[in-house]
């Protein structure tokens, strides 16, 4: 590979002690500390010390840390810095008496071949009453590690804690609540879930997302591991709606929930359970249906809501309730307590299907996750 390096010229006046550069090669490979009568010692990863045997000058060659992508830029900058190091040292250590005062001028051409950079120079030796022009060449040999460093190894990914809940080998139930949130009633359900170590899914409607108290409940749902589902903006029958209305009703809730909580719902529960082929094609979300309908909205009887669930529940059930009715709350709290006591894990709809190894498909209806 041949890379054309930056073309530059460096002229330095009143500089002494550079006679030893003429027609010699300077090797900077740590593997070759002796080359052409010159000694090179690597002080660290980027600094080399050069001692010219004939003149006795000691030169420190300092290479900047690699920080640019282009190899030719790296080499050019190093050459420039290296020559500056020579010039600076020589200027600070002038010869005594009538010794020659040379001027070093780099020529117009440089190139990189493998790890070697070659360039020519001329020296103008000014003596009393006369000037001698001499030509020579100078060679830098860069250690491969400086030109093409080994890539930094990628850090080992931190081990993720093994997921232990929900346990797919143990029974689980998904309790779901529609038409909320309600700052008081939804909070009471969350209190019970927190006490007994469970989660639930809350299918919210857009008309109830405006108040600060309800928004605080939404954030609590997410923070405590439960799930928010989409129940449309205004509880419209999507099976009787136009394509534009369907999209607007769904998108409104997704956008508002995302804005409030930072999490976007992944499940749609169509109001009234009403759906058709058009909805399946345009919804863009899977449908979370149910296997146990408590009819709590109709009976408004806590005991009936409780018994309807307990008489039908089994591993993989999805239970439908509503967190906007006062009578549902004692039934839900009792169900959370007693289902937990019977060994059921109380999970979200997403957790239920993940534990069953099922990847939900948009537009498809999911009623349960029985084994």
Query: d(Cα 193, Cα 347) in Å, to the nearest integer?
Result: 10
Closest CA to 72 of 111, 33, 28: 111
Closest CA to 238 of 228, 229, 247: 247
Strand 47-52 with 58-62, pairing = antiparallel
Residue 288 contacts residue 369 (beta carbons within 8 Å): no
8-state DSSP, 360? -
Q: Is 228 helix (H, G, I), strand (E, B) or coil?
A: strand
Residue 208, token pair as written in the block: 């109830």
For the question of residue 113 being annotated catalytic, the response is: no
Residue 346, token pair as written in the block: 């109380």
Q: Where are the alpha helices (DSSP H) in the chain?
A: 71-92, 144-147, 185-196, 212-223, 243-261, 277-282, 296-299, 302-312, 328-341, 349-355
- Marked catalytic residue, from 231, 322, 323, 325: 322
For the question of residue 296 being annotated catalytic, the response is: no
8-state DSSP, 363? T
- Marked catalytic residue, from 178, 179, 296, 323: 178
CA atoms within 13 A on the CB side of 302: 12
Residue whose structure tokens are 């020659």:
100
Long-range contacts, 302-307 (Cβ 8 Å, 24+): 302/327, 302/328, 302/329, 302/330, 302/331, 302/334, 303/331, 305/331, 305/332, 305/335, 306/331, 306/334, 306/335
User: How crowded is residue 82: how many other Cβ atoms within 10 Å of its Cβ?
Assistant: 22
Burial tier of 79 (Cβ tally within 10 Å: 0-12, 13-18, 19+):
buried
Instruction: Please give the positions annotated as active site.
Output: 178, 322
């Amino acid at each position: 590979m041949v890379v054309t390096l930056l073309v530059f010229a460096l002229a330095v006046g009143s500089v002494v002690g550079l006679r030893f550069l003429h027609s010699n090669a300077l090797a900077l490979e740590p593997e070759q500390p002796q080359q052409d009568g010159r000694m090179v010692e690597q002080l660290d990863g980027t600094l080399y010390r050069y001692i010219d045997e004939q003149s006795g000058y000691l030169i420190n060659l300092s290479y900047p840390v690699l920080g640019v992508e282009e190899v030719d830029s790296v080499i050019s900058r190093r050459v420039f810095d290296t020559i500056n190091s020579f010039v600076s040292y020589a200027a600070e250590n002038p010869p005594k008496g009538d010794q020659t005062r040379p001027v070093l001028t780099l020529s117009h051409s440089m190139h990189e071949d493998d790890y070697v950079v070659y360039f020519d120079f001329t020296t103008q030796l000014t003596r009393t009453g006369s000037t001698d022009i001499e030509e020579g060449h100078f060679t830098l040999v860069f250690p491969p590690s400086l030109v093409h460093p080994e890539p930094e190894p990628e850090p080992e990914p931190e081990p993720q804690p093994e997921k232990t809940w929900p346990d797919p080998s143990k029974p689980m139930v998904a309790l779901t609540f529609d038409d909320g949130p309600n700052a008081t009633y939804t909070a009471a359900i969350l209190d019970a879930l927190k006490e007994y170590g469970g989660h639930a899914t809350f299918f919210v409607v857009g008309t109830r997302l405006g108040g600060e108290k309800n928004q605080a409940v939404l954030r609590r749902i997410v923070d405590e591991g439960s799930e928010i589902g989409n129940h449309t903006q205004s509880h419209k029958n999507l099976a009787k709606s136009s394509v534009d209305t369907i999209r607007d009703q769904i998108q409104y809730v997704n956008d508002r929930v995302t804005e409030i909580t930072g999490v976007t719902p992944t499940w749609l529960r169509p109001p009234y359970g009403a759906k058709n082929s058009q909805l399946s094609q345009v919804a863009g979300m899977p449908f979370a249906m149910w296997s146990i309908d408590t009819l709590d909205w109709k009976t408004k009887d806590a005991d009936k809501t409780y018994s309807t669930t307990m008489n039908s529940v089994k591993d993989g059930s999805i239970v439908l309730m509503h967190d906007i009715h006062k009578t549902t709350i004692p039934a839900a709290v009792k169900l959370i307590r007693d289902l937990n006591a019977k060994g059921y894990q109380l999970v979200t709809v997403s957790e239920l299907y993940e534990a069953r190894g099922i990847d939900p498909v948009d537009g498809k209806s999911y009623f349960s996750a029985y084994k």
